[in-house]
Structure 1
Amino acid sequence: MTSWKIVARASKAQVEGALARQELAFDWPPAITLSAHEAAPDTPDEWVLEAWLAEKPRAADKRLVGGLFDEGPPELVAEKVPDEDWVTLSQQSVQPVLAGAFHVHTPDHPPLAKRGVRDFEIPASQAFGTGHHETTAGCLAMLTEIKRRGVRVRNLADIGSGTGLLAFAALDLWPSASAIASDNDPVCEDIVGYNAVRNAVPLGTGAGELAIVTAEGTDHSAIRRRAPFDLVIANILALPLIDLAPDFALACAGRGHVVLSGLLVSQEAQVRAAYRRAGFRLALRLTHGDWSILWLRKRR
C-alpha cells in the first residue's frame, strides 16, 4: 500500500514537546500516526518527528503537525513511502524501552522474557503513554523505586492514563491493590481496555483489578467513591498538574503518595510550590532529559 509521511527535524526537547501536545489534542485525527527517533547516534539532541498517513498530506495536515511545535514549526517535508504497511513502519521505528522493573515494546518487537522484569506490549500507534517518552519511562523508574523502598499501596489512581501503562505497572508492583484509570478523552477507555486484555491485566472494581472511567481530573463519582488513595499517578503537563494540586490533596490519603510527570525541569519549582501549598512534601525527584519526575508525600 502506498503511504506518505510528514517529516520534521528539530531538537529533542521540541519533538518531545510536540508529542506531549498531540497527547492533549482530544480531536487528533486517528488517520495520522506519530513516531519519533534520534536523527543519528552521534547527534543525540537532533530528533526526527514523523507523521504517517495513508494518503498524500494536504496543507491542513501539515498545519496540524506544524502546530504541535510551540516555537514555530521546523521545515516540514512530505515523503512518499511506496508499497509498505505504514502502521508497521511507524511502529518499527520505536525501539523497546527498559525502565525500572519494566520492558515496554510494540507488537513488532519480542518481549524480553527476563526474570524480575515485566513485559508490556503497547502499540506505538497510540503515540503517548507507551513508555517511549521520557516522562512515561521516568514514571516507570519512579514507581519501581517507590516499591523498592517498601511503600505499601492498597488503593491507587492513574489520572490522565492514556494507554493505561502506568496503571498496569502499578498493579504489577502492588498486585493486591484496587486501581482506577481515568482520562479526559473517551477514546482512552477503549484503548486502556484493549491494552489491559492484551497484557493480562484484570479489569473490574475489586482488589487486583483495574476500573476505567472518562473524567476531567478527579471529577467522577467513581473516583470520589474510591478515595482516599494511597497513590495517585499523573503524567500530564505542568499547568494541569498545578491546577489539580488541591483536588489531589482531597483525593490522597494522609501520608499518601503522588507521582507527577509531564513537567519540564524549568517548570518544576512552580509545580512543587503548588503542591507544597496543598500539603505535600518532596520525597524524591528524578530527571530524564529535560523532564522532571516527582514523588511527593502528603503530610498527615
Structure 2
Amino acid sequence: MNQQFILTSPGLARHHAIELSDVLEACPWPEALAVSMVETDEARDLWRIEAIYADEPDRIGIDDAMQRAGLDGNNLSITPVPQKDWVRESLAGLAPVVAGRLFVHGNHDRHLRRSGSINIEIDAGLAFGTGHHNTTRGCLVALQKVLKAYKPKNCLDVGCGTGVLAIAACRLTGITAIASDIDEEAVTVTRDNARLNGTAHLMRCVTATGLDHPAITAHAPYDLILANILARPLMALAPAIAAALSSSGRLILSGLTSDQVRMVRASYLAQGLCVIDTLVDDNWATLTLAHKQRGMA
C-alpha cells in the first residue's frame, strides 16, 4: 500500500471546523480521500479536522485554498500515516453499534451478539465504515425506515467503504446489491465482509469512479441506492445517481453536515428528486429522497 498522509488541525470552534472541512473537501488539488471532524473538547465545543491523502499533499495548494477562504493554515500539520493497520487496531476499543434491528460489531465482540437482532460483523481493515460514525448509523436507521413501507428489488452502494450498508440491505431484505468504491482496498474489505456475513452470493463488489462501471450500468435502474461519501462528490454525482434510480426507488445520502443539506438537496432537486425524510445526528445529516412524480414534497 502507498504511503498516505494525514493533515491535522488544532482544536477549533465548531463553525471554524465546518468551514475548514468544506474548504478541504472542495480543494481539487490536493484532493482528500476523506475529511472528518473529531470532537476534542465537549465542554468548549472544540473540534479537530483530519484529512487523509493518498500522496503527500502540496502545502502551497492548501495554503492558497485557505487564503481564498479567509482561513489561517499556519497551524495545520501534515505527517505520514504510520504503515500499520491503524483502523483495525482502533476497533478494539469500539463498542458495538445498535441501529434498530441491526447490531454491528467487530470480531472482538462476537460474544455480545444478540438473539433477535441482525448481527453484522465488520472487519474494517484499511477501509472506512465501521458503523460507529454518525453518518453510517444514520444510513442504517434510514434504511430500516424505508424498508417498513417499501420493498426494493435491488441495491447499489456507492462508496461502500467496508460494505456495511450493502451488507445490511442484503441481510434485511435478501435482495442483490452492487457495492462500489474508488479504493481497491475498500472493495477487497467489502468482499471479505460479505463472505463473513453470508451475503457474498448476493453482492458484487467492484472498483469504480462514481457510477462508471459496466456492472453498475448493466444492473440499473436500482430500487435502492445508498451513498455515504462527502457533500461535494454527492453533488457531482447527482445526475448519474438520479439516472440510475428507478422511478419508484429510494435514495439514501449521507456524509454531509447539517449546513451542507441545502446545497446537496438543491443538486438532487435539479435532477427531479425530492427529500422525503431527514435524520440529524449531532451535526451530521442523512437524507432519503425519491422521484418527485410520486407526489411527494
TM over 0.5, shorter chain: yes
Q: Give the match's secondary structure for 1:271.
A: helix
- Say if 2:193 is the partner of 1:195: yes
Partner of 1:159: 158
1:48: Cα distance to partner? 7.6
Alignment of 1:100-139 (within 5 A): 100-110=100-110, 112-126=112-126, 128-139=128-139
Q: Give the match's secondary structure for 1:156.
A: strand
What TM-score, normalized by structure 2, do the two folds share?
A: 0.73
- Say if 2:239 is the partner of 1:246: yes
8 Å contact kept, 1:11–1:47: yes
8 Å contact kept, 1:103–1:112: no
Q: Give the match's secondary structure for 1:141.
A: helix
8 Å contact kept, 1:285–1:295: yes
Unaligned runs of 5+ in 1: 1-5, 29-34, 52-59, 79-84, 204-208
- Say if 2:208 is the partner of 1:215: yes
Cα distance in 2 for residues equivalent to 1:273 and 1:86:
37
Cα distance in 1 for residues equivalent to 2:200 and 2:46:
40
Cα distance in 2 for residues equivalent to 1:264 and 1:36:
10
Aligned length: 260
1:119: Cα distance to partner? 1.8
1:245: Cα distance to partner? 1.1
CA 1:127/1:8 → structure 2, altered by over 3 Å: closer, same or farther? farther
Q: Give the match's secondary structure for 1:217.
A: coil
Partner of 1:56: none
Q: Give the match's secondary structure for 1:197.
A: helix
Partner of 1:259: 252
CA 1:7/1:211 → structure 2, altered by over 3 Å: closer, same or farther? same
1:8: Cα distance to partner? 7.5
Partner of 2:220: 227
Partner of 1:183: 181
Cα deviation, 1:131-190, whole Å, max 9, x if unaligned, reads: 111111110111011112x21110110011111000001111211x12100111122221
1:107: Cα distance to partner? 2.2
1:268: Cα distance to partner? 0.5
Alignment of 1:39-188 (within 5 A): 43=43, 45=45, 72=73, 89-110=89-110, 112-126=112-126, 128-148=128-148, 150-175=149-174, 177-188=175-186
CA 1:38/1:230 → structure 2, altered by over 3 Å: closer, same or farther? same
Unaligned runs of 5+ in 2: 1-6, 26-30, 80-84
8 Å contact kept, 1:135–1:235: yes
1:110: Cα distance to partner? 3.2
CA 1:274/1:196 → structure 2, altered by over 3 Å: closer, same or farther? same
Cα distance in 2 for residues equivalent to 1:129 and 1:189:
12
CA 1:202/1:25 → structure 2, altered by over 3 Å: closer, same or farther? same
8 Å contact kept, 2:88–2:126: no
8 Å contact kept, 1:90–1:124: no
Cα distance in 2 for residues equivalent to 1:101 and 1:12:
36
Cα distance in 1 for residues equivalent to 2:220 and 2:128:
27
Cα distance in 2 for residues equivalent to 1:239 and 1:99:
27
Partner of 1:282: 275
8 Å contact kept, 2:126–2:185: no
Report the identity percentage.
37
8 Å contact kept, 2:125–2:189: no
CA 1:123/1:11 → structure 2, altered by over 3 Å: closer, same or farther? farther
Partner of 2:28: none
8 Å contact kept, 1:99–1:141: yes
Cα distance in 2 for residues equivalent to 1:114 and 1:44:
37
Q: Give the match's secondary structure for 1:274.
A: helix
